[in-house]
C-alpha cells in the first residue's frame, strides 16, 4: 500500500474543471515529482491533497486513511505538511517565531527544540539569523525558512510547491541538495517543480501533468530519456 495515494481526483475552480481524474501514489521513502507546464494543475493537486480544495470526486489517502473528512490544519496533524509556492512566510515575525508557528501540532517542548535544531543543522544561515525579521531575508533564505517551517511539524509526507522559483542558480542547487538530505533522513517528498531537469535528477519517480490529466508516469531516469518529455519540459530538441 502506498503511503500517499491520490485516486481519480476531479477538482474545480467554479466551472473550470482543473483536475480530470488525477491518480498518483508516493511510497514511503520516495521523492516523487510532478512536472508540467503553467496551468497544468500541479499546484491544484497539492491544494487538493492538503484539503485547501475539496475534490468533487475521488479520494486522497494517507496510509490507507481517507483525508476527505479533515480540514487543512487537521491534515497537518495527520502527517502532511506543505512548503507553499511563493514561500508565504510570516514577514513581520522573526525566523525563530516562523519556525515555532510551523510546530503548532507539537505539544512536547523537547520535541519542538529537537526539530528546531534539526532545521538549524540543515540551514545554518537560519540559525545565524534566528532573531532577524523574516521579511528582511533574501529570497533564498526565505525559501529555507518556508522549508524549515514545514519540517517543524515533523511530517510523514512533505509537499513542496516550486521551491526553486525565483532563485539564483547557485541557490537552486543548494535547495535541491537539501531536499535530498531531508529525504535521506526519512521524510517522503512529493515535489512540484517547473525546473523539470533538476526535479528528475533527484526524484525516484515522476508524473507528467497536462491540462489536468496525468499523461505519462515512469521512473525519473526513464522520463529524462523520454523524447516527448525532453522536447516539452527539458528544453531539448
Q: CA-CA distance, 78 to 72, in Å (whole number)?
A: 10
The pLDDT of 94-117, averaged and rounded, is 91
Are the C-beta atoms of 19 and 45 separated by less than 8 Å?
A: yes
pLDDT on residue 43: 95
Q: CA-CA distance, 96 to 193, in Å (whole number)?
A: 27
pLDDT digits (tens, 9 = 90+) for 178-192: 999 999 999 999 999
Q: CA-CA distance, 169 to 12, in Å (whole number)?
A: 35
pLDDT digits (tens, 9 = 90+) for 125-162: 999 999 999 999 999 899 999 999 999 999 999 999 99
Q: Is the pLDDT of residue 108 over 80?
A: yes
pTM for this entry:
0.94
Q: Is the pLDDT of residue 24 over 90?
A: yes
pLDDT on residue 194: 87
The pLDDT of 27-55, averaged and rounded, is 95
Structure confidence at residue 106 as a pLDDT band (50, 70, 90): confident
pLDDT on residue 185: 94
pLDDT on residue 237: 62
Q: How many CB atoms lie within 10 A of CB 113?
A: 12
Domains and CATH numbers, the chain: 1-79+156-170+183-237 (3.40.50.300), 88-154 (no CATH)
Q: CA-CA distance, 20 to 155, in Å (whole number)?
A: 28
Q: How many CB atoms lie within 10 A of CB 108?
A: 10
Amino acid at each position: 500500500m502506498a503511503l500517499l495515494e491520490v485516486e481519480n481526483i476531479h477538482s474545480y475552480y467554479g466551472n473550470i474543471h482543473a483536475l480530470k481524474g488525477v491518480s498518483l501514489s508516493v511510497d514511503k521513502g520516495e521523492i516523487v515529482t510532478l512536472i508540467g507546464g503553467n496551468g497544468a494543475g500541479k499546484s491544484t493537486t497539492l491544494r487538493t491533497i492538503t484539503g485547501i480544495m475539496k475534490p468533487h470526486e475521488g479520494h486522497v489517502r494517507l496510509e490507507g486513511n481517507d483525508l476527505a473528512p479533515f480540514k487543512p490544519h487537521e491534515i497537518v496533524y495527520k502527517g502532511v505538511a506543505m512548503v507553499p509556492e511563493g514561500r508565504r512566510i510570516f514577514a513581520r515575525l522573526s525566523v525563530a517565531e516562523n519556525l515555532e508557528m510551523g510546530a503548532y501540532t507539537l505539544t512536547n517542548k523537547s520535541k519542538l527544540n529537537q526539530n528546531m535544531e534539526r532545521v538549524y543543522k540543515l540551514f545554518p544561515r537560519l540559525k545565524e539569523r534566528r532573531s532577524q525579521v523574516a521579511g528582511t531575508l533574501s529570497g533564498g533564505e526565505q525559501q529555507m525558512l518556508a522549508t524549515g517551517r514545514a519540517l517543524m511539524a515533523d511530517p510523514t509526507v512533505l509537499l513542496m510547491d516550486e521551491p526553486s522559483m525565483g532563485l539564483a542558480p547557485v541557490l537552486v542547487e543548494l535547495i535541491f541538495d537539501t531536499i535530498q538530505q531531508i529525504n535521506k533522513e526519512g521524510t517522503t517528498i512529493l515535489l512540484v517543480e517547473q525546473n523539470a531537469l533538476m526535479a528528475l535528477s533527484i526524484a525516484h519517480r515522476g508524473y507528467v501533468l497536462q491540462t489536468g490529466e496525468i499523461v505519462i508516469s515512469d521512473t525519473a531516469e526513464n522520463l529524462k530519456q523520454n523524447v516527448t518529455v525532453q522536447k516539452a519540459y527539458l528544453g531539448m530538441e
